A and B are shown apart, each in its own frame.
Chain A
Amino acid sequence: MTPSTPENTPDIAIEFDRVSKSFGQRNKKHRVLNEISFTIPRGLTTVIAGGSGQGKSVTLKLILGLLYPDSGRVLVDGINVPSLNKRELLKLRTRFGVLFQGSALFDSLTVFENIALPLRERTKMSEDEIRSRVMATLDQLELSGHEDKFPAQLSGGMKKRVGLARALQLEPEIVLFDEPTTGLDPVMTREIYQLFDSMQKRLGYTAVIVSHDIPGVFDIADQIILLNKGEVDVFTDVNEIIHSTKPYIREFAEMTMGDLFTRPEKEKCH
């Protein structure tokens, strides 16, 4: 594994260093990320936002080592993910929890079995210990009584909660959320964000949320990373986006948050 470098201060969990990534064949190559650099602080919630096809999910897959960058470094605690071999990558992934866009629950397993899977496969816990731990998690996430159901019998919001429960079983240091509220109604979306926020504050993990649900997701963000046409902008507050002077950010803000929301206060009064 690549040793920690001095520039990686301890409070940085993830760092992208001049990362580029393209897709397609030689004559139809599309550059999704263009030498982007940013850092994700430890123990906080970072939202990666941007329009469709701007490389948000690619960013997550690069962090997990499911994709490799064309150039640049993706550092997790100073370890360059693309340089890891398969075994080192598997070891690194034990530190992650991932909630996928479609929850990625195993259709043939019950809710209980889905949540127990990482414990059964990755730990030496007894069945009794696993049962008590899974039941406690189900209780925390208000899923008690649904443990024997199959994913097909659950609502969208419940699937997300089961996905979150599974992602948190191995007590990960970093939890990645890929478009976690896709397909949910606004009320459920709000509930899910509140749940994410409370779980993050309770457990203290580093949360990275990829979402196009703007401005809703900004409510729980400590840092916002905006991806646009292969470039990256980092904000610590939604007001920074609203008051940005960069034309494409203003355009993005108006398109996603609405004209009324982004118009300066004086104009709103008239």
Chain B
Amino acid sequence: MAETTITPEEEPPALALPFIFLGDHVLYILTDLGRMGIFLFSALVGIFRRPFRFRELLKQLNFIGAGSLAVIFFTALSSGMVLGLQGYYSLHKFGAEGMLGSAVSLTLIMELGPILTALMVTGRAGSAMCAEIGIMRISEQIDALECMAIDPFRYLISPKFLAALISVPLLTAVFDIVGIFGGYLAGVGLMGVNSGSFLSGMQQSVTNHDIRLGVIKSIVFALLLVWICAGRGYLVQQIRGAGFGAESVSRVTTQAVVLSSISVLIFDYLLTAVLL
């Protein structure tokens, strides 16, 4: 930005500097939260604005949902198999191998399924989303939309929100099913646990409440990841310390993935504490 006229101001006393620094940071955080709040509101309102971008929604469903299937499948299979082996190892000590189906399914449905799906989608689709929107911002493509009187939220952001809100719970369901299958493979196939006791244990212990908890978590995580990833990209030029140009997009993308992952973990605890 131009350095045409520097407005001179009196140097503050040295003792006031820590307070100025602290106040400045608090104000920045509040402003940033405010911007992110307005972003979330605008994106959610944009979902209901016409004309709907059905084709863009399908494209995003394909990218976020179908595109993540492979990574979800392998993560779920490996997590489920590890759970099966670890669960067998622990339960065998108490002669309670019959509880393996219950342990694997409850762990996957209530915890690992929603969390790992959200983390995988953040890493695969969230980062790409953040970088794409960030590049569109710095190359003035979003300004161009505004100048053509096209709402960038309805056109660009809201379809991503809707696609994430649809895809992530479905991917979580896929994760749960594949994970349970992995646990079955390891427990029944490799360790010789009785198939009937594995399945009946699962059937008896998993309730609608557990499934509902998993679904609620997956929806909240989907909202968190798409909000943070898309929001950081959209606000790339207003994020302090992000720098300029391509560097700012790379920094903000890293920040978005870290923030999103941490938020998912924190909200997992909060939701479990409230809803369990």
Residue ranges of A at the interface with B (Cβ–Cβ < 8 Å)? 22-32, 34, 52-55, 58, 64, 66, 90-91, 93-94, 96, 98, 100-102, 104-107, 117-118, 121-122, 166, 170, 229-230
Contacts and interface: CB of A to CB of B under 8 A. Distances in A.
B141 A30 contact: no
A104 B140 contact: yes
Interface string B1-28: 1111111010000000000000010000
Contacts, number: 89
Given A26-B9, A30-B6, A104-B140, A98 B147 contact: yes
B1 A32 contact: yes
Contact of B144 (A26, A27, A31, A98): A98
Contact of A30 (B1, B139, B146, B151): B1
B148 interface: yes
Contacts of A118: 148, 150
A121 B3 contact: no
A107 to B, nearest CB: 8
Given A100-B140, A106-B141, A30 B2 contact: yes
Interface string B148-191: 11110001000000000000000000000000000000000000
Contacts of B149: 90-91, 93-94, 122
30 contacts: A23-B2, A29-B6, A29-B7, A30-B3, A30-B6, A52-B2, A53-B1, A53-B2, A53-B4, A54-B4, A55-B2, A90-B149, A90-B151, A93-B149, A94-B149, A96-B147, A100-B140, A104-B143, A104-B144, A106-B136, A106-B144, A107-B141, A117-B148, A118-B148, A118-B150, A121-B150, A122-B148, A122-B149, A229-B4, A230-B5
Contacts of A23: 1-2
Given A101-B140, A104-B141, A93 B4 contact: no
A31 B149 CA distance: 29
B140 A102 contact: yes
A26 B21 CA distance: 12
B1 A121 contact: no
A172 to B, nearest CB: 10
A22 B8 CA distance: 13
A170 B4 contact: no
A96 B145 CA distance: 12
Nearest to A100: B140
A113 to B, nearest CB: 12
